[in-house]
Amino acid sequence: EADSHPRVDLGAPTADSIDWRDTKGVVTPVKDQMQCGSCWAFSATETLESFATLKGSSVGTLAPQQLVSCDTKDGGCQGGWYYTAWNYVKGVGGMESNSAYPYTSGTGRRGSCLFDKAKLVQGTQPSGFTGVKKGESNLAAALEKGPMSIAVNANGWQNYKKGTMESCPFAFNPDHAVQAVGMTTEYWIIRNSWGVYWGELGF
């Protein structure tokens, strides 16, 4: 599904650098999607965690499994989009915690939906979301408001260990959803969902 959501122009950022990992609770621990194409669910969950915390709700770690198993607009382990995931969460009233609904799709099985509305975490229902127009200036300006879900071409990421990754695929064909959590004038800081043994402790 193409993202037809309206996109806004935020203009130029005011900060030269930002790292949301330095703000307590805004960036939860790195997760691992394992052998399931559920990056979209992890990215969506992480950004809900971040913005709920920024708005004053202590929601902790939420349950990507709820999205993988219960969001029928997306494809479970076969891929999806964070914005359709947010629409699902808005529709059902929020998300369960990861402890109440632990991740079980690591072997590639979507699993039956076991969502329990009685277990919703307060403060996890989004009122909506905003897409930003293309361009690094808009990306940086959006990042000043909080960590955000983005789509990237992850070709070549499997071998990333540390430092600044400078090689980018020529054709932009986004195939992986992640969370942008910071930037400097030299690079972006990305939180992946491939566990802490990938990259620099998962970043």
Is position 176 annotated as part of the catalytic site?
Answer: yes
Angle at 201 between CA 196 and CA 203, to 5 degrees: 105
Please say whether the beta carbons of 89 and 41 come within 8 A. Answer: no
Residues 145 and 167: their CA atoms lie apart, in Å, by: 28
Is position 173 annotated as part of the catalytic site?
Answer: no
Please say whether the beta carbons of 42 and 104 come within 8 A. Answer: no
Q: Which of 61, 56, 57, 55 is nearest to 27 (CA)?
A: 61
Is position 5 annotated as part of the catalytic site?
Answer: no
Catalytic residue among 36, 39, 70, 77: 39
- Which sequence positions are flagged as catalytic? 39, 176, 192
